[in-house]
């Protein structure tokens, strides 16, 4: 259908003052309600009539959700922290640079001012630029619902395109990145048609290298499967080895094999699979060059 | 949902408007307040023609619900000049041929203002990066970038 | 002979700059009339379907709806969305009226089936949903090569095998078969070019208002206001004088706004409701319904002598039209004309077929066939150069035409400085230092070039006529009444400079009066890069007449012969005794307010139709970097060296060329009009999916203006709007070949295609990626 609508259809709007209020409201209205953070994705899809929620819950009046802080064993990012704040944050740039690097590739300053990292994650597009670096940093998410909260590793958060494990009454309240990931060497790479396009393929790699041996590796691949995924086979090839070119190449090929890319108007399955190999290889190389 | 009266601060002046939650900031500006300088183009967050500054930060008014920016300081293109005294960025755009059809111009100028408020001495690359979310189909961006750099210099020199 | 000008050649800012920079400039969508209704169109969800039944009763009953119209309610007079009666010989017979205001049958996804006028968009949207349409789906066809097959569904009753136009090359010469036999090297290749979207930011919009007298005011961004008026008059069976076309500011045109879009529907709704009706497209409607660049598949055969002389040339084009012809009906022939008219060649023949498909129509985007065909021609020239062991520059210099030779349109070339363009650009890009580097790494650089010839106005192919009025005010300023349309270029500035130069005043003393067919003289409008050359000459003639009257009047006052007078810096003075004179203001004031009754309105009027060919030429140079592992192409540097005669305003010329580079890079590398083969639905329907270069995707650019005057242009000027983009894509293609030795012949050259070509080359295949 040709989209002929410029404005939105009516809905009820609720601005809770606490997380508890928010989860209560969501529990009552279930699938008829959508959470509004930055709104870049939600409002766009509503305008095109792809989704038509009866209720919109805006979290912006809940105080204390906009933060980046070290807290015990984790660096924590609050649900309302926008992408631009994270991109410019000194602690993120210092210690978790691939997250800043990845957000930097989101070229529109306006989108970064409006969009939140948590919001981006909850859209659950496999082409997210925020998810792969968080996968590679071993991030966890704190989910809060009516009955309590749970912390899940980010790689357990996604089920399918547009689908997460979030229950109707739950929101993601914060992102936690373990201290063990601080200052880890890593790289984020992505392929796009023009600077403001959604990724054809994006890859985030972190490496822990001691005495020339790779002790840990996380290879997160986006845009080539229903969800972002960790290329575990590839990681297995790297861990315990000296990262010689043959080893890196084998890992890159393994990552490409694990991908399930599709052909769409941005790219072809064949190209995407090949580029997983190229980007993983290059990201490993770049990560090796960095760090202490 | 019933319309409710909401208060907006636009270009330094207060406005009380009856709004519905579904109304975007862009609609509020153009249809309710007759401030048509902010443009509706793609409605998808891709072109930046609807850019306004909210608390000094460039955002896309076509994807912002008006209800969310109550009581916030909003700057539209109409609020930049002081009477007939154009802002240095506006002057630079005119002098350097950075305006052709003019449709992207309000969004470009406001985004450029936010850049120069944040970074008074940007490099050419930094200007390009900051303007990446503003599309232009007429100029190829060349004279726009030139104008922003010239405006930066003029502002630094107190012109 | 270099002339010293007062205002020609200066980098004046545009008078409308402040309005645009402050948001005060009003575009069609910004205009609100009292009591105005919002119109919306019900669009076919199917690419090809009969309309069995429409029931609009529920929609009509919805509160807030003031009119619902269907095919039944609108005049059954078919129209040509690209306007009838523009062409001259030989294409005159081609203009076919094949569209109705609301479709009699759905011929593409997006076709207008019904329309409503309501108090606001919400009610209009509801009303559209309440219109019940019973469709009978028909088989559909997307690609031209499918559409011409005998088993393809018929889209228009009259068009056998969906062929709307089948023509030979109108300027054929010599004997191509013999020519190929006589050639030492013969090359033949097939190329395909895509439906590029104009991509103007302002969505298509219009407002129609009916006065109590029945006179219709139509606010439209159409580039050709007078032809629009005429077509609307035909459609609604009204005299032209009962329609006034108003042109607000326009947010970019690029040829897409040459056609009729929502105007007839808005008028039909306004006639029914007797209230103003505005229809504003969404960006999705723009992509779906606004005419794109014409796409083609074509085969070029070229024969060369071993010294590089082009001896024979043949082009066969299959032109992708769309559901309705629009400008595509001329596109096939004009593509042949550009392709075979650029170089000197004694044996030329060609053929074009323009084909209906169930898609968005094609039209005349910037260059109108020239970018499309030079994509192939300029790559063939490089291929020939390689085969002959020549430098690509040499093979161009050998075959480009000189002044006096017949142009692409057949008339003698008034001026050409293409050789200057080639030499200047080659030197600036570092042609001899940087070409043929044969690099080894993952990123490889290359340099490539292309050339072209275009037109300044379309005489003798299309009607040429512009008019202007120059009238003096008592303060010595001038009202310049013109209507070249409002395409979004700086044409009014150029016209002001032309008038100011002739009248010895400053462009700031020129007030432009424009924007309404009621208030201006006939002007064809903006297309074919005609405005500076044709409207500019009309302005010059009107200015000359106004100046003549001014000097004649001043002569009486100064008691001197008019031949002895000159006007400069707003002052009329004796050439022989410059201290003796009067201000222009004094002359005009005394003539306007002559108390003795010998009054005079000092004003000049013109009707100008050009009768010559002053084709602009250009050479384009690209430096690219190819990543051989990803197939990505980065354009590092781009230089356009342009011969557009005298540059009336160099800043404007640069601006056009810089914008043309952006469009050419998108055309070459990233812009892809993607239609779903199963449903006929357009997938790339917004800027999110259709990717045009952003500020970050642009290379370093440089524009070299040769600035040598043309004998017939106003102060020597030629057109530049379309030349700005014609040769950008093939220059990039040739640079890619220099970098990595492969070509992709179908647009866009995506990394996916290029990588495939690179791999095939590695394995010893053609290296073409197709």
What's the confidence (pLDDT) of residue B1? 62
Residues of chain B above pLDDT 70, percent: 99
Instruction: Indicate if the pLDDT at residue C92 is higher than 60.
Output: no
3-state class (DSSP) for residue C676: coil
In angstroms, the CA C14 to CA C23 distance is 15
Instruction: Indicate if the pLDDT at residue C3 is higher than 80.
Output: no
Whether the CB-CB separation of C705 and C602 falls below 8 Å is answered with: no
DSSP letter string, C621-655: EEEEEEETTT--EEEEEEEEEEE-BS-SSHHHHHH
Whether the CB-CB separation of C750 and C757 falls below 8 Å is answered with: no
CB burial of C553-565 (b: ≥16 within 10 Å; e: otherwise) equals bbbeebebeeeeb
Confidence of residue A126 (pLDDT cuts 50, 70, 90): very high
Nearest CA in chain B to A59: B68
Report the length, in residues, of chain C.
Answer: 770
Q: Find chains touching chain C: ≥3 CB pairs under 8 Å.
A: A, B
Asked if C630's CB is within 8 angstroms of A191's CB, the reply is yes
- Average pLDDT on C508-526 reads 96
Instruction: Indicate if the pLDDT at residue C341 is higher than 90.
Output: yes
In angstroms, the CA A79 to CA A116 distance is 7
For C359-404, how does the pLDDT look when each residue is reduced to its tens digit (9 = 90+)? Answer: 999 989 999 999 999 999 999 999 999 999 999 999 999 999 999 9
Give, for C432, the enclosing helix (H) or strand (E). helix C431-434
Residues β-bridged to residue C705: C642
- Average pLDDT on B103-125 reads 98
Instruction: Indicate if the pLDDT at residue C768 is higher than 70.
Output: no
Which of A232-241, C241-250, C437-446 has the weakest average pLDDT? C437-446
Strand ranges across the sheet with A74-78: A68-71, A74-78, A171-178, A140-145, A148-153
Kindly state the tokens that stand for B119. Answer: 């970074």
DSSP assignment letter at C4:
P
Confidence of residue C1 (pLDDT cuts 50, 70, 90): very low
Q: What is the dihedral of CA B84, B85, B89, B90, to 10 degrees?
A: 20
In angstroms, the CA C660 to CA C672 distance is 17
Instruction: Indicate if the pLDDT at residue C90 is higher than 70.
Output: no
Q: Find chains touching chain A: ≥3 CB pairs under 8 Å.
A: B, C
What's the confidence (pLDDT) of residue C487? 84
On chain B, the residues whose CB falls within 8 A of the CB of C652 are 97
In angstroms, the CA C198 to CA C287 distance is 9
Which of A15-24, B5-14, C482-491 has the weakest average pLDDT? C482-491
In angstroms, the CA C739 to CA C622 distance is 11
- Average pLDDT on A39-65 reads 96
Asked if A271's CB is within 8 angstroms of C282's CB, the reply is no
Asked if B44's CB is within 8 angstroms of C202's CB, the reply is no
- Average pLDDT on C318-330 reads 94
- Average pLDDT on C472-484 reads 96
Confidence of residue C439 (pLDDT cuts 50, 70, 90): confident
On chain A, the residues whose CB falls within 8 A of the CB of B22 are 7-11
Instruction: Indicate if the pLDDT at residue C114 is higher than 90.
Output: yes
**Tokens 């006065």 map to which residue?**
C211
DSSP assignment letter at C91:
G
For A196-246, how does the pLDDT look when each residue is reduced to its tens digit (9 = 90+)? Answer: 999 999 999 999 999 999 999 999 999 999 999 999 999 999 999 999 999
Q: Enumerate residues 6+ apart whose C-beta is below 8 A from C263.
A: C206, C208, C218, C220, C222, C228, C232
- Average pLDDT on C162-174 reads 95
Averaged pLDDT score across all residues of chain C:
95
In angstroms, the CA A46 to CA B67 distance is 16
**Which residue of A109, A112, A195, A198 to mutate against B (max B Cβ within 10 Å)?**
A109
- Average pLDDT on C325-346 reads 94
For A157-178, how does the pLDDT look when each residue is reduced to its tens digit (9 = 90+)? Answer: 999 999 999 999 999 999 999 9
What's the confidence (pLDDT) of residue C763? 83
**Tokens 């080359």 map to which residue?**
C761
Asked if A43's CB is within 8 angstroms of B114's CB, the reply is no
Q: Report chain A residues touching chain B, CB-CB < 8 A.
A: 6-13, 36, 39-40, 43-44, 47, 56, 58, 60, 84, 107-111, 113-114, 195-196
CB pairs B-C closer than 8 Å: 179
- Average pLDDT on A116-137 reads 98
- Average pLDDT on C566-580 reads 94
What's the confidence (pLDDT) of residue A1? 81
- Average pLDDT on C203-231 reads 96
Whether the CB-CB separation of C392 and C431 falls below 8 Å is answered with: no
For C681-707, how does the pLDDT look when each residue is reduced to its tens digit (9 = 90+)? Answer: 999 999 999 999 999 999 999 999 999
Nearest CA in chain C to A272: C752
Tell me which residue of C634, C668, C640, C663 sits closest to C740, measured CA to CA: C634
Burial label for C104, CB within 10 Å (0-12, 13-18, 19+), is middle
Nearest to B78 among C22, C489, C686 (CB): C22
- Average pLDDT on C35-62 reads 98
CA distance readout (Å), C416 to C462, C678, C724, C727: 22, 49, 16, 16
Positive or negative, the CA dihedral A249, A254, A257, A262 is negative
Asked if C629's CB is within 8 angstroms of A3's CB, the reply is no
Residues of chain C above pLDDT 70, percent: 98
Strand ranges across the sheet with C163-168: C163-168, C347-356, C310-322, C295-304, C185-193
According to the per-residue pLDDT averaged within each range, which of A246-250, C567-571, C610-614 is highest?
A246-250
Tell me which residue of C472, C470, C478, C481 sits closest to C523, measured CA to CA: C481
Specify whether the backbone of B56 is left (phi greater than 0), alpha (psi in -120 to 50) or beta.
Answer: left
On chain C, the residues whose CB falls within 8 A of the CB of A202 are none
Residues β-bridged to residue C207: C219, C278
DSSP assignment letter at A82:
B
What's the confidence (pLDDT) of residue A170? 97
What's the confidence (pLDDT) of residue C770? 45
Positive or negative, the CA dihedral C118, C124, C130, C136 is positive
Whether the CB-CB separation of B149 and B124 falls below 8 Å is answered with: yes
Tell me which residue of C401, C508, C394 sits closest to C449, measured CA to CA: C394
Residues β-bridged to residue C643: C617
Hey, is the C-beta of B33 within 8 angstroms of any chain C C-beta?
no
CA distance readout (Å), A4 to C13, C66, C159, C283: 38, 19, 31, 9
Single pTM value for the model: 0.97
Asked if A197's CB is within 8 angstroms of C691's CB, the reply is yes
Give, for C216, the enclosing helix (H) or strand (E). strand C216-219
The nearest CA of chain A is from the CA of C609 a distance in Å of 42
């Amino acid at each position: 259908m040709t989209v002929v609508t410029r404005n939105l259809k009516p809905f009820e709007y609720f601005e809770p003052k606490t997380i508890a209020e928010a989860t209560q409201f969501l529990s009552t209205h279930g699938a008829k309600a959508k959470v509004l953070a930055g709104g870049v994705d939600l409002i766009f899809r509503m305008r095109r009539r792809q989704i038509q929620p009866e209720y919109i819950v805006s979290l912006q009046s809940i105080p204390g959700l906009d933060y980046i802080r070290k807290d015990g064993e984790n660096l924590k990012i609050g649900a309302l922290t926008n992408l631009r704040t994270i991109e410019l944050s000194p602690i993120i740039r210092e210690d978790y640079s691939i997250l800043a690097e990845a957000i930097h590739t989101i070229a529109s300053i306006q989108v970064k001012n409006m969009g939140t990292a948590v919001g981006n994650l909850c859209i659950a597009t496999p082409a997210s630029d925020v998810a792969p670096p968080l996968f590679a940093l071993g991030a966890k998410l704190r989910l809060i619902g009516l009955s309590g909260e749970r912390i899940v590793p980010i790689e357990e958060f996604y089920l399918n395109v547009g689908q997460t494990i979030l229950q109707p009454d739950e929101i993601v309240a914060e992102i936690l990145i373990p201290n063990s990931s601080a200052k880890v060497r890593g790289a984020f790479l992505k392929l796009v048609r023009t600077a403001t396009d959604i990724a054809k393929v994006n890859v985030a790699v972190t490496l822990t290298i001691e005495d020339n041996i790779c002790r840990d590796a996380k290879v997160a691949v986006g845009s080539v499967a229903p969800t972002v995924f960790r290329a575990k086979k590839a990681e297995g090839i790297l861990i315990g080895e000296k990262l010689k070119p043959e080893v890196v190449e084998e890992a890159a090929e393994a990552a490409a094999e694990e991908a399930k890319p599709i052909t769409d108007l941005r790219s072809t399955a064949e190209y995407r699979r090949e580029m997983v190999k190229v980007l993983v290889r290059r990201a490993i190389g770049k990560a090796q060059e960095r760090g202490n | 949902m019933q319309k409710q009266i909401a208060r907006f601060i636009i270009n330094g002046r207060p406005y009380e408007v009856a709004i519905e939650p579904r109304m975007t900031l862009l609609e509020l500006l153009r249809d309710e307040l007759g401030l048509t300088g902010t443009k509706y183009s793609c409605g998808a967050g891709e072109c930046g023609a609807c850019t306004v500054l909210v608390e000094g930060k460039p955002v896309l008014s076509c994807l912002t619900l008006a209800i969310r920016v109550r009581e916030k300081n909003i700057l539209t293109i109409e609020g930049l000049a002081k009477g007939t005294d154009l802002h240095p960025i506006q002057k630079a755009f005119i002098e350097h041929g950075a305006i052709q059809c003019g449709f992207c111009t309000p969004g470009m100028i406001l985004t450029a203002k936010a850049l120069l408020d944040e970074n008074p001495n940007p490099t050419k690359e930094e200007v390009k990066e900051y303007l990446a979310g503003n599309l232009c189909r007429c100029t190829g961006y060349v004279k726009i970038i030139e104008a922003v750099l010239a405006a930066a210099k003029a502002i630094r020199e107190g012109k | 002979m270099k002339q010293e000008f007062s205002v020609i050649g200066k980098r004046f800012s545009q008078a409308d700059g402040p309005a645009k920079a402050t948001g005060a400039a009003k575009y069609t969508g910004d205009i609100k009339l009292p009591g105005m209704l919002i119109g919306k169109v019900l669009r076919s969800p199917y690419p090809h379907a009969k309309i069995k039944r429409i029931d609009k009763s529920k929609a009509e009953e919805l509160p807030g709806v003031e009119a619902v119209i269907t095919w039944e309610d609108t005049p059954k007079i078919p129209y040509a969305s690209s306007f009838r009666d523009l062409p001259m010989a030989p294409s005159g017979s081609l203009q076919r009226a094949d569209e109705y205001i609301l479709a009699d049958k759905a011929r593409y996804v997006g076709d207008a089936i019904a329309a409503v006028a309501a108090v606001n968009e919400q009610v209009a949207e509801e009303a559209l949903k309440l219109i019940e349409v019973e469709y009978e789906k028909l088989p559909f066809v997307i690609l031209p090569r499918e559409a011409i097959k005998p088993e393809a569904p018929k889209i228009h009753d009259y068009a056998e095998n969906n062929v709307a136009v089948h023509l030979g090359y109108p300027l054929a010469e010599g004997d191509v078969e013999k020519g190929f036999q006589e050639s030492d090297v013969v090359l033949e290749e097939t190329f395909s070019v895509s439906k590029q979207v104009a991509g103007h930011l302002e969505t298509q919009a219009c407002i129609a208002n009916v006065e109590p007298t029945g006179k219709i005011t139509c606010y439209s961004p159409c580039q050709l206001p007078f032809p629009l008026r005429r077509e609307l008059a035909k459609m609604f069976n009204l005299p032209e004088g009962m329609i006034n076309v108003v042109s607000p500011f326009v947010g970019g045109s690029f040829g897409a706004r040459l056609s009729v879009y929502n105007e007839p529907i808005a008028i039909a709704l306004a006639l029914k409701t007797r209230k103003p009706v505005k229809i504003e497209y969404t960006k999705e409607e723009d992509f779906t319904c606004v005419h794109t660049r014409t796409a083609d598949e074509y085969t070029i055969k070229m024969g060369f002598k071993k010294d590089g002389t082009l001896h024979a040339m043949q082009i066969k084009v299959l032109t992708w039209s769309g559901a309705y012809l629009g400008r595509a009906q001329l596109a096939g022939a004009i593509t042949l004309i550009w392709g075979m008219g650029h170089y000197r060649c004694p044996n030329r023949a060609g053929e074009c077929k323009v084909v209906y498909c169930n898609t968005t129509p094609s039209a005349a985007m910037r260059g109108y066939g020239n970018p499309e065909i030079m994509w192939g021609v300029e790559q063939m020239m490089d291929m020939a150069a390689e085969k002959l062991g020549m430098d690509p520059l040499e093979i161009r210099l050998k075959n480009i035409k000189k002044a006096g030779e017949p142009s692409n349109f057949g008339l003698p070339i008034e001026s050409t400085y293409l050789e200057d363009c080639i030499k200047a650009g080659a030197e600036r890009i570092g042609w001899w230092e940087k070409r043929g580097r044969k690099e080894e790494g993952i990123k490889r650089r290359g340099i490539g070039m292309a050339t072209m010839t275009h037109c300044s106005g379309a005489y003798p192919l299309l009607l040429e006529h512009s008019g202007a009025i120059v009238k003096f005010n008592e303060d010595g300023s001038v009202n310049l009444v013109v209507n070249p349309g409002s395409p979004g270029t700086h044409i009014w500035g150029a016209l002001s400079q032309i008038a100011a130069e002739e009248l010895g005043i400053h462009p700031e003393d020129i007030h432009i009066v424009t924007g309404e067919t009621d208030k201006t003289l006939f002007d064809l409008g903006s297309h074919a890069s005609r405005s500076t050359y044709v409207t500019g000459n009309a302005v010059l003639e009107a200015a000359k007449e106004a100046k003549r009257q001014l000097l004649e009047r001043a002569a009486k006052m100064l008691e001197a012969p008019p031949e002895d007078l000159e006007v400069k810096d707003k002052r009329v003075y004796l050439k022989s005794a410059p201290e003796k004179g009067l201000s222009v203001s004094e002359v005009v004031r005394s003539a306007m307010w002559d108390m003795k009754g010998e009054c005079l309105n000092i004003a000049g009027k013109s009707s100008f139709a050009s009768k010559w060919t002053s084709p602009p030429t250009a050479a384009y140079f690209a430096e690219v970097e190819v990543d051989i592992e990803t197939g990505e192409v980065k354009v590092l540097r781009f230089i356009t060296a342009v011969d557009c005669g005298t540059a009336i305003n160099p800043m404007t010329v640069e601006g056009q060329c810089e914008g043309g580079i952006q469009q050419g890079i998108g055309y070459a590398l990233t812009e892809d009009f993607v239609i779903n083969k199963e449903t006929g639905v357009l997938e790339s329907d917004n800027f999110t999916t259709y990717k045009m270069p952003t500020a970050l995707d642009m290379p370093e650019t440089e524009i070299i203006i040769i600035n040598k005057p043309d004998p017939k242009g106003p102060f020597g000027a030629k057109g530049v709007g379309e030349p700005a983009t014609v040769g950008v894509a093939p220059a990039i293609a040739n640079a890619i070949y220099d970098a990595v030795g492969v070509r992709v012949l179908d647009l866009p050259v995506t990394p996916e295609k290029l990588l495939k070509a690179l791999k095939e080359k590695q394995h010893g295949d053609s290296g073409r990626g197709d």
